[in-house]
């Protein structure tokens, strides 16, 4: 499996000054899969700091990777994997060249089959909330290989359990963390998700 657990914390907008406190808050509730999106301030530095502090305890991804250059920066910073919002063969190949596992953003059955043909490690169904929670069961039958499905986009504590009945994992962003939010709030929200 690409992820350690079933919840991936998406810390979009986190800064290097705040990233360690936020990850500490998540780790207290055993949320140990963390994504730092590339459209966050100085995102690669946040990845470096988290990797230095938590090493293998946290499974760390660079998110919103949309160019080969970002894939290279993600690997250089020390991320374990990359997440993309869309399917781009050049980005997938760049991630592979850099030694990164890939969770590729897909939505349609055509994209799912194309991503599997590229050998991605997981499929990020995005935006998941616009599809039925049972979407993976509707498409897995024709797939020739097993691949983990991760639901991202619109997932929160009210619908997470529904998605986890059908998906291997969920990515949770604004329902867990918003830029500038105190770590104490992240800790409270993580506690709600982890019960």
Active site residue: 35, 76, 93, 101, which one? 35
Compute the radius of gyration of the chain from its Cα atoms: 16
User: Of 93, 124, 140, 157, which is the active-site residue?
Assistant: 124
Q: By three-state DSSP, how is residue 106 classified? A: strand
Q: Name the burial class of residue 163, with classes exposed (0-12), middle (13-18) and buried (19+) by CB atoms within 10 angstroms of its CB.
A: buried
For residue 127, is the peptide bond before it cis, meaning its omega torsion is within 30 degrees of 0? yes
Residue 10 CB-density burial (10 A; 0-12 exposed, 13-18 middle, 19+ buried): buried
Could you tell me the two tokens for 27?
A: 């780790």
∠ Cα 74 80 84 (to 5°)? 60
Report d(CA 134, CA 1) in Å as an integer.
20
Contact (CB, 8 A) for 61 and 80:
yes
| Residue 124 annotated as catalytic | yes
Active site residue 93: no
Residues classed as catalytic: 35, 124
């Amino acid at each position: 499996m690409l992820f350690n657990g079933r919840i991936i914390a998406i810390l979009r907008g986190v800064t290097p000054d705040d990233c360690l406190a936020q990850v500490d808050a998540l780790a207290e509730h055993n949320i140990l899969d963390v994504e730092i999106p590339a459209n966050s301030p100085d995102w690669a530095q946040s990845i470096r700091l988290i990797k230095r502090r938590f090493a293998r305890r946290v499974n760390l991804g660079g998110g919103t990777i949309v160019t080969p250059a970002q894939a290279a920066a993600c690997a250089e910073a020390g991320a374990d994997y990359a997440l993309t919002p869309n399917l781009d063969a050049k980005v997938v190949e760049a991630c592979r060249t850099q030694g990164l596992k890939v969770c590729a953003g897909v939505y349609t059955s055509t994209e799912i089959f194309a991503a599997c043909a590229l050998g991605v490690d997981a499929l990020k169904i995005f935006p998941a909330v616009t599809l039925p929670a049972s979407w993976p069961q509707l498409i897995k039958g024709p797939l020739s290989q097993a691949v983990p499905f991760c639901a991202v986009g619109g997932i929160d504590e009210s619908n997470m359990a529904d998605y986890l009945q059908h998906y291997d994992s969920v990515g949770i962003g604004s329902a867990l963390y918003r830029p500038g939010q105190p770590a104490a709030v992240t800790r409270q929200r993580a506690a709600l998700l982890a019960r």
